[in-house]
Structure 1
């Protein structure tokens, strides 16, 4: 179908158009896929256009081949009204991706020059008010050396998702090669939902292994997903109370809203001795977490599927019950069982919230706006033990959102703390229903265990706000 270039003369918010174009820098009959996306927001009367060449052999990756991936690339490029992606027309998905050699850049440079007339033709008229516009050619770089997709599947709530093993760039040091397993959702493919360390099975040295050629096994003793370590570090604030619980012969109890691959749940149970309850809204996600990420139900961990906000609201309505009744039964249970069971206690020593917006047009936002409503925060507070804490992963779209979120929390919780991850994106917000218990002169074995389990940098970077 012919493309009418007049349709590109104005910015039409959220308009997405794709077409194929002969590769001008190739002597073969290869085709380029061109994708044009306009920002969902009216940014300025003088729109800016940018282009990006898709990395070699990544054309089938959702980051570059879907509208949601394209949108996230656009939103991560401030001030851009239209982003044009140009890459090879993918005939099939690549089972194994391997990064091309670093010196293989001449084709991209040549392509950038030859595509300039096309990029100008795809620019709106208003870009030419002051002469010929400059159209920057953006580059995409990450630390993935190779990757292999283990499974693609569909969840009734999250939609399409994939599990992949990746090797990360460690600067060429063979002795420090690092492999990870990841879970990604198609609706926000640029966001890694879960990431765990994997190592080759015994008998394989790091100098002679490649993805797709040897078997790997999970190493869940270390948290590698960036924001999970500071979330766990928040437990330092409740360490005197948790130590008291342990000395009384009680296991501390954690409620995790949002499970994903289950790395946080497993770490709390195996490394820190918690009883853990998880709530996940998509049963297929839980199936994947069990099959690929080592999540297990057992004596001290149970996982339920259901809407986290509904579950916490019903727990708050129910009030105090009996102690949690953990069993050895396996399989996913409905969230109603958690709320309605007579053996369920509605009080937890810590609540950890790992929920994000399901709408890609919002960008990367956590928590979803629904969580910040006052009745939800009141429910969360009532589910906490008096000396417990709530830790929540926050990805604010702007500083105004974060300030508003803090103000909403101040109206419900007595004390607020934060951990700034220093990446300009993530904060861990920690809320306490009552003033935190002071440290005692007695040795705190739980705090010692916490310090050995995670990085001390985050333990020492908690500040009151």
Structure 2
């Protein structure tokens, strides 16, 4: 019996799933692992007494097994009438407190803030069949509804989405499952409210869509229905969290690797007293420039962000603030660097960091936009980098041919190029320098990183003990 769709587009079709569950019958279908595979993750993030919504439940046994071990406040929804009928018949008498409802997750009938946890096992993958505009609109509606029904809204912005690999029996290296965890800033406290179990093939797209959709979802949440804002004014963001954000913590592995690249500047014992000039293109939640600003007291940071709403969220939710040593420029990074490169008195930076997403991932590269790695533009980047400096780039590229082309272009402009792959992710961090004679062997690089870490670990500096700079540079290779 062949239940596979003729095309991936059918995964988003109601008719496909009705036929699928009719033909499959009572045999459970487990997309991305069973309860035994996933229980470690689920028990970590969900408390037994919390009210949980499972979207796109299908006929998986996951909810039933959660119920049997004590998670009894479970509501399951699916768009298939066939499977909801099957699940009601299967659980009606055995699990009386668990409900199954036929419902479109893009138009759910629950009141606002009805659930403490939303759990999805593969449903977002089924919806995100491509990145056409109609598909992305459907995903956006789904995420907006998830944000609406959660008691604590999800607000991940600019790289503050946590992605963790799920290790379980029978998982091959090419078909691993992933958890997308929604994070509140960098304070090590996950919301434990939004859990997506997803394949590696779409995890990066999903994380990016979460970032894009979360802010829009919050803007739709009305704080005072009796006093709606004027039609020509935007709704305010929700109030900032009461607890302060721990600015010493970097939740993104690629941010940790980018910071570790500062060891390439040399003389690590002097960096805290060196008046470094940094340029960061792509603000996100602000954690990357904020970390540098707080740990290198003599540095000055210019951050470039194209969207003023991102700056607003970073400031209100993630503890970001501008100072006399850190300024945000609302501009297109391409235009900003082009303007600097064309000026008579060219700005000079010791460190330039690119951490900016592409809005057109169809090219096979979702970070950065292709224009940021065009050779003529890279020449402009080179012109504003000091001779001893380092250019650090977050690259997310699945197309091997395109990746080789990007690396070749970088190598043509920056003779010394190191690459550090982020384990379990698509991200690769590229460290680019102008002088080949600066090349460090792996042992030298690790020694330099250890020296920098010793300097940063001094009492009173708020260093995160779990962050080992040398570990981030062990896997570096020279192109």
The interval holding the TM-score normalised by the smaller chain is 0.5 to 0.7
2:476 is aligned with 1:462: yes
- Write 1 or 2 for the structure with the bigger share of strand: 1
Structure 1 residue ranges without an equivalent (≥5): 1-7, 36-55, 73-86, 99-137, 151-163, 170-183, 195-211, 322-345
Deviations 1:215-271 (A, max 9, x none): 43211112121210000111111123x766766xx5101100000010001100101
Match of residue 209, structure 2, among 173, 186, 189 = 189
Within a 5 Å distance, the mapping from 1:163-242 to structure 2 comes to 166-167=191-192, 188-189=208-209, 215-240=242-267
Asked if 2 retains the 8 angstrom alpha-carbon contact of 1:415 and 1:435, the reply is yes
What residue is the counterpart of 2:179 in the other structure? Answer: 142
Mark the runs of 5 or more structure 2 residues left unpaired by the alignment: 16-78, 90-98, 107-115, 132-141, 154-174, 195-203, 215-238
Using the TM superposition, give the Cα deviation of residue 94 of structure 1 relative to its aligned residue in structure 2, in angstroms.
2.2
1:93 aligned partner? 148
- Over 3 Å counting, the alpha-carbon distance change for 1:319 and 1:428 in structure 2 is farther
Which of 288, 295, 307 is residue 313 of structure 2 equivalent to? 288
In structure 2, what is the equivalent of residue 251 of structure 1? 275
1:58 aligned partner: 118
The Cα shift of 1:149 comes to 9.2
Distance 2:263 2:332 in 1: 29
**1:26 pairs with 2:85:** no
Contact kept, 8 Å, 2:365 with 2:399, in 1: the verdict is: no
SS at 2:417's partner residue?
strand
Greater helix share, structure number: 2
Structure 2 equivalent of residue 11 of structure 1? 7
The CA distance in 1 between the partners of 2:121 and 2:315, in whole Å, is 24
Q: SS at the partner of 2:245?
A: strand
Q: Distance in 2 between matches of 1:185 and 1:284?
A: 21
2-side partners of 1:235 and 1:92: how far apart? 38
Return the alpha-carbon distance in structure 2 between the equivalents of residues 442 and 65 of structure 1.
43
Q: Secondary structure at the match of 1:294?
A: coil
Native 8 Å contact 1:68 1:186 kept in 2: no
Q: Which residue of 1 aligns with 2:413?
A: 412
Q: Any idea what SS the aligned residue of 1:233 has?
A: helix
Superposition TM-score, scaled by structure 2 size: 0.54
**Matched position secondary structure for 2:118:** coil
Q: Tell me whether 1:267 sits opposite 2:287 in the alignment.
A: no
Change beyond 3 A, Cα 1:443–1:279: closer
Deviations 1:60-111 (A, max 9, x none): x899569975548xxxxxxxxxxxxxx9xx799322389xxxxxxxxxxxxx
The root-mean-square deviation of aligned C-alpha atoms, in Å, is: 4.7
8 Å contact kept, 2:415–2:433: yes
In structure 1, C-alpha distance between the alignment counterparts of 2:213 and 2:178, rounded to whole Å: 19
Query: Equivalent residues in 2 for 1:390-409 (5 A)?
Result: 390-409=391-410
Distance 2:413 2:151 in 1: 50
CA contact (8 A) 2:314 2:320 kept: yes
Q: How far 1:168 moved relative to its partner?
A: 9.1
Aligned in 2, Cα 1:447/1:30: closer, same or farther, shift over 3 Å?
closer
TM-score, normalised to structure 1's length? Answer: 0.55
SS in 2 for 1:320: coil
Instruction: Provide closer, same or farther for how the CA distance between residues 305 and 251 of structure 1 changes in structure 2, counting only shifts above 3 A.
Output: same
1:365: how far off?
Answer: 1.8
Per-residue deviation at 1:377?
Answer: 0.4
Structure 1 residues 139, 29: closer, same or farther in 2, change over 3 A? farther
Alignment check: 8 A CA contact 1:68 1:188 kept: no
